[in-house]
Amino acid sequence: MSSSSISEMLLTDCKKEVYCRLFQKQAILDREKAWDPLMMKLEEIAKEKNKGKRAVAGTDHRQIYRNPYMVLFPYDSNRVKLEKWPSNEYGYINASHVVFPEVNRKYIMTGSPVQTELGDFWEMAASQKSPAIVMLAHGNDHPMTCTNDYFPKETGDEIRYGDYFVENVGLIETELYVRRTLLVKKGDVAHTVSHFQFLAWNEPTSPSGFDDFLKFLTLTKESTVFAPYTAPTWFAKIMNKEAPSGAPIIQCAAGVNRSGAFIIIDVIIRMLQMGVNDYYSIEHLIMKLQSQRLYGVCSVEMLKFIYECVRHWIVQYHPDMKEVDFLLQEHAGTFGPIQDLKKYLDPKHWLPKQEEREEFLRKNEHRVKRKSVHLLKHDKVPPRKEDTYANMLFTKNNTARRLRYN
């Protein structure tokens, strides 16, 4: 194999590049115990950037009881709006529209519905024409919310919530999830919603937890519940009308953290599948999410889970990456000087610009051409600790494969 074909195969494959960058960054953050400072930086940026955003509807004293968590309110600019009534002057529900146009995705983020306002939740599902509800909560995490009792559980059951009747017309149960088909009716109008209840989320940190989560995510994607993003029309903006979004409802206890992790992981996987060349920064995507939903991802554990889950997906769905992962694991202790850590904590470096990526690839293509013949002559090449990026070069010599950090 020629050196140019090696460089083309290894250095222009975005999945390998993303995996390499994520692995190195995670290794350095682990080694320097820097996850907490990184999370604090994200919170600091979110607080600064969202300082001027208004949340009048959610903080109004007449609506405050509709919020189980008194520090979490949707922004007025992108909150989900229900029909206005004297008892609900703003048409308020604690839920936010979230869009990622880069991958043609939109979602609704919300928490477990308030016990006294279950009809609002089903009004949202029907009025937004949501094709699905993805439920990531388990148990009643808050005394005001109704996590397990806001939907009929068994086939044939029908329950009234406010003005809406919800009937369970289909049920599939597995150890991993429960899928229900729910018919939401008000008068002569009916809307069908798929309800996916994930049973295996107990703050997973083990590979089996990643497998379960990715299987569940794949199931929802294959069920075509993710609606494409469409910008609001000029007429809708002028008339202040909100057209049905057709977005799936991503629901966890508080409407942040788990639901935020679900969305970020889906967006990154979608980028990899589409071959998008930019935006491969978990922190950058979390910043975008937090600009649309306060505290979108707000724990170190969930930040680590996103890193691990994306890496796990790349290896799981691209078997050729298993050997890359094994070799990187062997050399994890050799990554990066302290300057890399400072860069990872600096938002200016979170999102590599396209010209930076091109320079990165050009530089390493040159190194591949220069060193490929040399590497074939050696059984082992020790990694160089001072280097910033782990750039992989595999060379074949009958049965041997080599890894080089340039």
31, HSE (Cβ side, Cα atoms, 13 Å): 16
The amino acid occupying position 255 is G
CB atoms within 10 A of CB 95: 26
CA-CA distances (angstroms) from residue 142 to 80, 271, 296, 373?
22, 35, 19, 63
Cβ(87)–Cβ(122) below 8 Å: no
Model pLDDT, residue 286:
93
Q: Write phi, then psi, for 181 (nearest 5 degrees).
A: -105, 120
Q: Which domains does the chain have, with CATH numbers?
A: 3-33+321-401 (no CATH), 48-317 (3.90.190.10)
- Rounded Cα–Cα distance for residues 91 and 84 (Å): 4
* Planar angle of CA 150, 152, 156, nearest 5 degrees: 165
* Planar angle of CA 35, 203, 142, nearest 5 degrees: 110
What is the DSSP code (8-state) at residue 109? Answer: E
Model pLDDT, residue 397:
35
Model pLDDT, residue 341:
77
What is the DSSP code (8-state) at residue 115? Answer: G
If residue 168 lies in a helix (H) or strand (E), which one and from where to where?
strand 164-173
Q: What is the largest CA-CA distance in the chain?
A: 81
Q: Report the length, in residues, of the chain.
A: 406
Q: Write phi, then psi, for 173 (nearest 5 degrees).
A: -115, 135
Summary count for the chain: helices (H), strands (E): 13, 11
pLDDT (tens digit, 0 to 9) for every residue of the chain, 406 residues total?
333 333 334 334 677 778 888 888 888 898 889 999 999 999 988 888 888 888 888 778 777 888 878 778 899 889 999 998 887 888 899 999 999 988 889 999 999 888 878 999 999 999 999 999 999 977 655 555 666 789 999 999 999 999 999 999 999 999 999 999 999 999 999 999 999 999 887 654 455 678 899 999 999 988 777 756 555 554 444 444 567 778 999 999 889 999 999 999 999 999 888 877 666 789 999 999 999 998 889 899 999 999 999 999 998 888 778 877 777 777 766 666 666 777 788 787 776 666 655 554 555 444 434 433 333 333 344 444 434 333 333 333 333 333 333 3
Task: Transcribe 286-317 into DSSP letters.
Answer: HHHHHTTSTTSS--HHHHHHHHHHHHHHHHHH
Q: Write phi, then psi, for 6 (nearest 5 degrees).
A: -60, -50
